């Protein structure tokens, strides 16, 4: 089941088995994935490392993890993107940004305690029911349930204290992505993020090129475009105010940037969604 919103919001909820496990390898830009294993002996290569996952374990993946299913029995799959739910915007409520996704230097994993399983089961059923509704409240309801899901997971992760302490190249990319989430409105160059990571801009660019992702600058620009679309669609801000909100000092600069990355001017975009 998939939800697709008016400004590229994306939520995918599905039960996966051996016949549908190719879904795990799909690349959705800006997405985060939660896998809840409902059987033993699920084997997946994660970042070229073979891992086995068993009943009621949950793992948390970003778009930067390289996933290859080897042996899949039963998984409950949930994937969403930033337009649907930005974990940084809701961190004061969910407190998961650094634990469940971008902050962990090894694959974050929790084991659902027996006393908590009924909560997860109930929430999953509610998710499935709401995915089939079709009214103006659907996205708000789905966002509320995702928030609840993340809170349940974050609480368990904190209790289990599975905080790893080593870094890999993939971890550096995830950390860069997380910093962009924090600072895209005020920091606009690769150099500024490289300084936060104690790296050179060239090192970052070479790393992204080596692993085969978009360039660091593309990630910064994509995040600014996403925020622009959200504000143009959902806020009462004037176009100039939207540009100022994401770091542009004048309307002309913002309009040129937006048109370069979307193919239309901000006013044309507003008109297209009305």
* Structural domain boundaries in the chain: 2-160, 169-273
Q: Report the alpha-carbon angle 136-143-174, nearest 5.
A: 140
Please give the model's pTM, rounded to 2 decimal places.
0.65
CATH number of 169-273: 1.10.10.60
**Mean pLDDT (the chain, rounded):** 85
Q: Is 46 helix (H, G, I), strand (E, B) or coil?
A: strand
Q: What is the DSSP string of 81-117?
A: ETTT--TTTTHHHH--IIIIITT-SS--EEE--GGGH
Residue-wise pLDDT for 220-269, tens only, equals: 998 898 889 888 887 888 999 999 999 998 999 999 999 999 999 999 98
Residue-wise pLDDT for 82-141, tens only, equals: 888 876 555 555 555 556 775 444 678 899 999 999 999 999 999 999 998 888 889 889
Q: What is the fold of 2-160?
A: Jelly Rolls (2.60.120)
The first and second tokens of residue 120, run together, are 């997860």
User: Is there a contact between 2 and 15 (Cβ–Cβ < 8 Å)?
Assistant: no
């Amino acid at each position: 089941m998939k939800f697709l919103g008016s400004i590229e919001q994306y939520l995918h909820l599905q039960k996966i088995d051996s016949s549908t496990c190719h879904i795990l390898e799909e690349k959705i830009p800006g997405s985060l994935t939660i896998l809840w294993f409902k059987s033993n002996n699920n084997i997946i290569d994660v970042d070229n490392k073979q891992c086995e996952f068993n009943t009621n374990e949950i793992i948390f993946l970003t778009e930067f993890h390289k996933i290859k299913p080897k042996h899949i029995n039963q998984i409950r799959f949930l994937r969403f993107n930033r337009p649907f739910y930005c974990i940084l915007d809701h961190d004061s409520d969910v407190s998961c940004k650094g634990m469940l996704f971008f902050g962990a230097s090894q694959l974050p994993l929790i084991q659902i305690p027996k006393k908590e399983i009924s909560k997860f089961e109930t929430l999953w059923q509610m998710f499935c029911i709401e995915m089939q509704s079709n009214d103006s409240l659907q996205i708000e309801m789905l966002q509320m349930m995702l928030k609840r899901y993340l809170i349940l997971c974050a609480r368990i992760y904190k209790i289990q204290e599975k905080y790893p302490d080593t870094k890999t190249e993939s971890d550096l990319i995830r950390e860069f992505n997380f910093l962009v989430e924090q600072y895209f409105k005020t920091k606009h160059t690769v150099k500024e993020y490289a300084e936060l990571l104690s790296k050179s801009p060239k090192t970052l660019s070479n790393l992204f090129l080596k692993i085969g992702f978009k360039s660091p600058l593309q990630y910064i620009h994509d995040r600014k475009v996403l925020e622009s679309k959200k504000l143009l669609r959902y806020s009462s801000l004037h176009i100039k105010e939207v540009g100022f909100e994401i770091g542009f000092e004048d309307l002309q600069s913002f309009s040129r940037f937006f048109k370069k990355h979307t193919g239309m001017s901000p006013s044309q975009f507003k008109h297209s969604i009305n």
